Chains A and B, each alone.
Chain A
Amino acid sequence: MSTSLSGPGSAQQTPGREPVRSGLPRKSRTARNHAPITATGLIVKVILLGLVAGIATWAAFPLIEAKEWLGLGVLAVTTAALLYLYLTRRHIPAKYLVPGTLFLVAFQVIPVLYTASTAFTNFGDGHRGTKDDAIVAIQTSSVKQVPGSTEYALSVATKGDPATGPLVFLLSDPKTKQVYAGDADGLRQLDAGQVTASSLTGRITAAEGYTVLNIGQASVRSKDVTSLIVPTEGGAIRSTGLSRAYEGKAARAYEAGCDCIRDGESGRTWAADEKTGSFVAADGERLTQGWKVNVGLKNFTRVLTDPNISGPFFGTLAWNFAFAIGSTGLTFLLGMAIALALHSPRMRGTNLYRVLLILPYAMPSFAMLLVWRDMFNTDFGLINNLFGLNVDWFGEAWSARIAVLLVQLWLGYPYMFLVATGALQAIPRELTEATSVDGATPWQSFKAVTLPLLLVAISPLLIASFAYNFNNVNAILFTTDGGPFPADNPRNGATDLLITYTYRLAFGAQGAEFGLAATVSIFIFAIVAIVSAISFSRTRKQEEVYA
């Protein structure tokens, strides 16, 4: 990366740039190279790089302990690259970009790439893990108690150290009072005289030659306890918890030969189907535990061909744009209108207005969204009661959309009011006064002078606000939850944004379908990318005006 982010000397010269400017970077590099190295600068650098090295060392120990050599390698390379970057005088842009980029790559880019890769799988409920996971789950859940077998009282014991010694199950049969010791080699009877048992529970509390572990000690060795299986004729004795054991038998087992699961009792088999990631019997019956497999482009064709998904997709997309533009535009218009109204040298009390108007922005939005949802209730809501209306706000598509936008307006306009006020105050009064002297109406002077200046200052904020609202999950999830839903499609409602729609696909009550949700996300991503790329290429001109 650092090669591509080389210093300003390699700045690409854009055609049409003024010759003076294009010469500047080279000059500035010379200047920079002559910039004196200050003592404080050096100290700060040493401290910061020391900090980096310190953190890296701190992070390295657990990696070494866990023998995570790959992780250690990544850590070492990253640290070395960081040290190099800040010790060299080259790669100046990289010095500024790398800190944020590191976090971005680790916590956004990698998760996003991982998620996108699931679009080609059947990842979802019932197909989350590997085939081995599924086999373990199938075998574990088929373990049943051998009919008529004994229920033992269990004590976990060892002949060695309680923390490390090999474990032994000390078992007592509550009915016959016989006592046994069991380990992986099998069960052997103990002499009743050698052990002391609790009269209440029948559990062995002490035995000659053994150290009996109490529950606290045994719980530390949970994994050893769970994996200790004492073979018997009819099956095997396993622990259930730390004080009881039973003789059980796994009814189902995986057979590598036929790549299938066989039920020992009925003889039925379920063959592995690598296409769907499940074990299927000859008659089509599937075992519930499946695994994750690649399904190629199946999710993509499903998005395009399933009428329940592709049908509402473009409608939702259109509403999504309307919502984002509406939320941004309306808040801006209202905020600006109020800012203009209060912007007058003869106005008193603007500070008080400002403090009160900004309050909605300060209230936690997640809470206020829930409050607004209740205020829109048809029969009990404040809105209908206050204005004597009987509007079924969230029940009709358009009223629900208006309601959602109204909530967004309330939440967002104080911010726009604030920035517009700031922007207005920065516009020199002479400019507006000059136009009114020229005989322009207030509206004309606003259009010719104030608005363009406002937009220059505020348009980055508007773009950011648009991007935020485009994916504003909370605004929908906490109010309408996507509703109202058409009677014939419970998966896509009138106020659903693409993101809430995806959320429902991924986590919806019908069971998680991560693969499908990732596919829908890729489609959304592609659409947004195209739109952004087009509008972005237009900003190039605008950017050159400043630069």
Chain B
Amino acid sequence: MRIRTTGVVAVLGLALAASGCGNGSSSSDKPAAQNSATPAAAGGKLVIWADDKRTAALKPFAEEFGKENGVKVEVQAVSKDLQTNFVTASQQGSGPDVVVGAHDWIGNLVQNGAIDPVQLAAEQKSGFNETAIKAVTFNGQLYGVPYATENVALIRNTELAPQAPKTIEELVATGKQLKAQKKASEILCLQSGQNGDAYHIYPLYTSGGGYLFGTSANGDYDPKDLGVGKPESIAAFQKIAKLGEKGEGALKRSITPENSISTFTSKKCAFLVSGPWAIADAKKANISYDISPVPGFAGGKEAQPFVGVQAFYVAAKGKNKALAQEFVSNYVTKPELAVALYKAEPRPPALTAAFDQVKGEDADLAKFAEAGKNGQVLPAIPAMAAIWDPFGKAEAAVIGGADPAKTVTSAGKAIQGQIK
């Protein structure tokens, strides 16, 4: 009998665990129901997806919007593959109402029917920085409401390098000198990693004469005119190769997205190519720094960084589109929100009014804007998605010493093969 009871207890315990799904869920029905959509509640629900950093910045303001209007707002973070997951989830109808992301997603989101155009009044539109509006316009339609622009610049440690270099050659000379004096261990912190980083190398690529896409008559990027693989791009990569590991040693694959900024803040390199997001760390580490445009090659073209825009999008298959439109077109367009978002994370606001407001208290902002003045808006056409990976890997290979002509030609072929 004793054995039997233990047996029964075991059966019961295991069986309950096995059916734990049903069992547990029925007992947790109430809290779960409260968490999820409650159509019976007073207001609707708005779900916003963003990456981790922006989720944190956005949360208080989204909740504020919810409180003002008697609706429930949830900001959720998707840590990896936000764009892909948004498209897949949207397709099946379990996506959010609003998504926050870089403007170069637009082409892909539109081709998958994942986002709707946003109708802004003329006076709302005129409140934005012109570049930002241009960036979120695709096929003649406005697809997102921008809130911040960003571009890389040269941040230098003024203790180590008091003068802003005018050319890359000058920068390398200073860096080498510092290295010889054991004041720094690296010439330049420009992140590459094993798989490259097209975004950060782009100013040098343009200065070397390369381009990604030609422009068609109306000023839009033309996917049929691919610049990667053209002689200009090979020339540019040849110049980059000279700075690489087999050349000057200024560009290295060991400088990765993870360690680039922290190497600069620990004073191991005097020059950092990065964006406004690096400033907080530099301040925390008490570095005296200054910001200037990324210099180009001596005698080369102008070094143009990419200008990226962070924007809010309305999901085409969201459950609460009207509320999403209300949030995106009437709440995000308020300067107060833009200023608050800036305070949470210092990127130049896309709203002119907000930019002017914070410009006075933050000199860095104007310097970043200055560095991005001649920048190129990141192409938002779907073909752009095909660029990043092959371009970055070609960059890494060239920095590591691979033959530029061969590498870039095949990268161009790989990209061409992807563009339909």
Contacts and interface: CB of A to CB of B under 8 A. Distances in A.
B4 interface: yes
Contacts of A381: 254
Given A51-B19, A242-B326, A380-B259, 4 more contacts: A40-B4, A48-B19, A141-B116, A222-B321
Given A141-B116, A377-B259, A490-B390, A129 B91 contact: yes
B116 A216 contact: no
Interface in A119-175: 125-126, 128-129, 133-134, 136-137, 140-145, 151
Given A140-B117, A141-B117, A219-B71, A509 B414 contact: no
A388 B122 CA distance: 63
Interface string B13-43: 0010011001100100000000000010011
B42 A377 contact: no
A240 B328 CA distance: 10
A226 B111 contact: no
Interface string B383-416: 0011011100110110010110011001100110
Given A483-B194, A487-B394, A125 B385 contact: yes
B-side interface mostly: helix
Given A125-B111, A133-B113, A244 B329 contact: yes
B195 A483 contact: yes
A143 B117 contact: yes
A489 B414 contact: yes
22 contacts: A40-B7, A59-B22, A99-B18, A125-B385, A129-B113, A140-B117, A141-B139, A141-B141, A215-B70, A215-B71, A215-B326, A216-B71, A217-B42, A220-B44, A239-B325, A241-B322, A288-B110, A289-B111, A395-B194, A508-B389, A509-B388, A510-B385
Interface residues of B, number: 84
A219 to B, nearest CB: 3
Contacts of A208: none
B253 interface: yes
Given A215-B69, A377-B259, A490-B414, A480 B113 contact: no
B47 interface: no
Interface of B: 4-5, 7-8, 11-12, 15, 18-19, 22-23, 26, 39, 42-44, 46, 69-71, 81, 84, 87, 91, 107-108, 110-113, 116-119, 121-122, 139-141, 186, 194-195, 252-256, 258-259, 263, 316, 319-323, 325-330, 382, 385-386, 388-390, 393-394, 396-397, 400, 402-403, 406-407, 410-411, 414-415, 417-418, 420
A377 B254 contact: yes
Contact of B87 (A125, A220, A481, A487): A125
Interface in A463-497: 480-481, 483-485, 487-491
Nearest to B408: A487
Contacts of B18: 99
B111 A490 contact: no
A244 B330 CA distance: 9
A288 B415 CA distance: 18
B129 to A, nearest CB: 21
